[in-house]
Structure 1
Amino acid sequence: MITKIWVGLMLALTLFYVFTLLGRGIILLQEPSLIAVAMGLAILVLPLVALWALFAELQFGLKAQRLSRRLISLDIPGLDLELRASGRATKDSANKELERIQDAVTKDPKNWSLWFQLGEAHDAAGERKNARAAIRKAIQLANDPDSADQ
């Protein structure tokens, strides 16, 4: 629930940013100076980039959440991690799980659930970029009818 609140807040702030920039860009386009018009056109590009990034992130999050629910419904055991008092995984346990899942992925590279677990293991090990890449691969494989269902 907290995550949905944060997503909603970030969505609202991004939309506020987009509409503010659009307004400033339109104001600058109405100026007689060529420099102001050029700045207005440049400013109009920023909201488009922000909207694209917002859409891409929301789409990624929703697809990852859907896969997470699907993984739970298949009763596939999660990662075996030792947790600190803060709830974060210890580095040793995260690295052990990462190695275990990487070995499993090399044996069955078309298995979306293994790729999803690999993403979770990378995340537990603090490797966000690799985690996102692995989850993207899981999403791609889950949508591929030729990939394994488990």
Structure 2
Amino acid sequence: MKTKLWVTGVIALMLLFSVVAVISAIGFIQAPQPLAKALGMAVLMVVAVGLWTLYREIRFGLSMERMGRTLESEGGLPVDDIPRSPGGRVDRTVADAQFETYRAEAEAAPEDWRSWYRLALAYDAAGDRTRARGTMRRAAGLFPG
């Protein structure tokens, strides 16, 4: 619940920033100087890219949440039993061993979103966030919901 409140706050701030930036951009566009008009158009493009990125990330997060709930209801979520150091870092040897299991599962069932979701969690546990996000996007693409 705490995370959802933070996300809502960030969305609200982004929307507020966008409104203020668009109002400023309109003022620049209405100015007679060509440089001001160009600056106003650039601000509008930055706002458009920011809003598109925000939309895409929210959609990605909601999709991850739906997939997680579905897997949980099916009993298919992997158990988080990787040993951790007192600082919270996972034991890399155990995480790497689990990763190989989930990689083989995804290779055996390339059209199953569940195997890709579990592989994404294994990438995350192994510390490879970039591949985790890419793999989760692949799972989301295969997810029927």
TM-score (norm 2): 0.90
**In the alignment, does 2:104 pair up with 1:95?**
no
Cα root mean square deviation, aligned? 1.6
**In the alignment, does 2:40 pair up with 1:40?**
yes
Q: 1:148 maps to which residue?
A: none
Name the amino acid aligned to 1:11: I
- Taking a change above 3 Å as real, the CA distance of residues 139 and 14 of structure 1, as seen in their structure-2 partners, is same
How far 1:89 sits from its partner (Å)? 2.4
How far 1:85 sits from its partner (Å)? 3.3
**In the alignment, does 2:25 pair up with 1:25?**
yes
Unpaired runs of at least 5, structure 1:
145-150
**In the alignment, does 2:125 pair up with 1:124?**
yes
Q: 1:147 maps to which residue?
A: none
> How far apart, in 2, do the equivalents of 1:90 and 1:14 lie?
38
What are the equivalent positions in structure 2 for 1:64-103 lying under 5 Å apart? 64-79=64-79, 80-103=81-104
CA deviation map 1:47-66 (0-9, x unaligned): 11111001100000001100
**In the alignment, does 2:16 pair up with 1:16?**
yes
> How far apart, in 1, do the equivalents of 2:89 and 2:112 lie?
26
How far 1:86 sits from its partner (Å)? 4.3
Name the amino acid aligned to 1:38: A
> How far apart, in 1, do the equivalents of 2:6 and 2:91 lie?
26
Alignment partner of 1:78: what SS?
coil
Alignment partner of 1:89: what SS?
coil
> How far apart, in 2, do the equivalents of 1:109 and 1:84 lie?
34
Alignment partner of 1:104: what SS?
helix
- Taking a change above 3 Å as real, the CA distance of residues 36 and 77 of structure 1, as seen in their structure-2 partners, is closer
> How far apart, in 2, do the equivalents of 1:75 and 1:60 lie?
22
Runs of 4+ in 1 over 6 A off after TM superposition: none
Unpaired runs of at least 5, structure 2:
none
How far 1:104 sits from its partner (Å)? 1.4
TM-score (norm 1): 0.88
Alignment partner of 2:42: what SS?
helix
